[in-house]
Amino acid sequence: MERTGDKLFEKALEYPATLDTVPKIKATTPLIITFDSQTVNDTSLALDQALVSFQHVDTKNEVALPARAVKSTDSYKMDVSRKNFRLHFSSAPGVYNVALVLGSFKQGGLLYDLGNVEMVAPKSTKAKKPVAVYGPKPEIHHRFAEPQKMPNILVSLFFTGLVVVPFIGLLAGWAHLGVNADKLQMEPIGSVIFMGLIAAYITLAISYWIGVKLFPTLTYALVLALPTYLIGQYALSKRIEKHI
């Protein structure tokens, strides 16, 4: 066992010897077990399985931790770090039986009972339960946003009137070009449908200005485009034929 580099307890065992005392293991004094394996001919033996088993003497619950190979010394090492101690032993302190579980495909397996150790859990600090306090809460004061200062009504009416200017300009342009509805009776059906589609376009533009989104407006405009072109072409051709 070590703490900040100082060895508090050290015991060397040779199979089948066991510990003659029960050392106490704490979270601040982690347990380190190192061992090597040899054949009957005193040659180094590579293990295919190396585990350290901790079995609680009372509850019989078992924790198996792997031992890693240390190539520089041809040995194996297992340490119960603070993290492993809190994970496996803090909630279940007591006396544990420690054993090596070794296995080799060539030499078979071995269960080596090392003895007992006592895992001492740290003193638990119970968190205080929150106390429910019933009673009036402090008053909540709301502050609403102040209304924005709006421009004068005359300014709003002026810019609203500007919206009508392009339509007035359109009518003035038609009057200048001599556009009139005198000859619509030459093809009344086609002319009425064509003018209705033009009115639908104007309605669609007003709807977009009021609140319709851009992509739905473009979809409706594409739907109106083909019949407007075909009806306009039909009405114009019929008028030209009757004029001739």
Position 187 scores a pLDDT of 66
The closest alpha carbon to 185, from 195, 171, 198, belongs to 195
Q: Of 127 and 169, which is predicted with more confidence?
A: 169
Question: How does residue 2 score in pLDDT terms, banded at 50, 70 and 90?
Answer: very low
Instruction: Measure the CA–CA gap between 68 and 182, rounded to whole angstroms.
Output: 103
State the helix-helix crossing angle for 188-210 and 214-243, rounded to 10 degrees: 160
Can you tell me the mean pLDDT for 26-47?
75
Task: Quickly tell me which residue has 């030209």 as its tokens.
Answer: 240
Per-residue model confidence as pLDDT tens digits over 192-217: 888 888 889 888 888 888 888 889 88
pLDDT above 50 (res 104) = yes
Q: Is 99 exposed, middle or buried (0-12, 13-18, 19+ CB in 10 A)?
A: buried
Share of the chain above pLDDT 90, in %: 1
Name every residue whose Cβ is closer than 8 Å to that of residue 82 and which is 6 or more positions away in sequence: 27, 28, 30
Position 46 scores a pLDDT of 78
pLDDT above 70 (res 36) = yes
Question: How does residue 3 score in pLDDT terms, banded at 50, 70 and 90?
Answer: very low
Distances in Å between the Cα of 226 and the Cα atoms of 189, 196, 197, 205, 214 are: 18, 14, 10, 17, 19
pLDDT above 80 (res 124) = no
Amino acid at 13: L
Can you tell me the mean pLDDT for 133-138?
76
Between the ranges 8-12, 78-82, 159-163, 220-224, where is the mean pLDDT highest? 220-224
Instruction: Measure the CA–CA gap between 167 and 165, rounded to whole angstroms.
Output: 5
The closest alpha carbon to 11, from 121, 117, 90, 120, belongs to 117
Question: How does residue 150 score in pLDDT terms, banded at 50, 70 and 90?
Answer: confident
Can you tell me the mean pLDDT for 225-236?
85
Question: How does residue 129 score in pLDDT terms, banded at 50, 70 and 90?
Answer: low
Q: In whole numbers, what is the pLDDT of the chain averaged over residues?
A: 78
Position 5 scores a pLDDT of 45
Q: Which range has the worst mean pLDDT, 51-60, 72-81, 91-100?
A: 72-81
Can you tell me the mean pLDDT for 147-153?
82
> What would the DSSP string read from start to end of 121-175?
PPPP-PPPPPPP--SPPPPPPP-PPPPPPPPPHHHHHHHHHHHHHHHHHHHHHHH
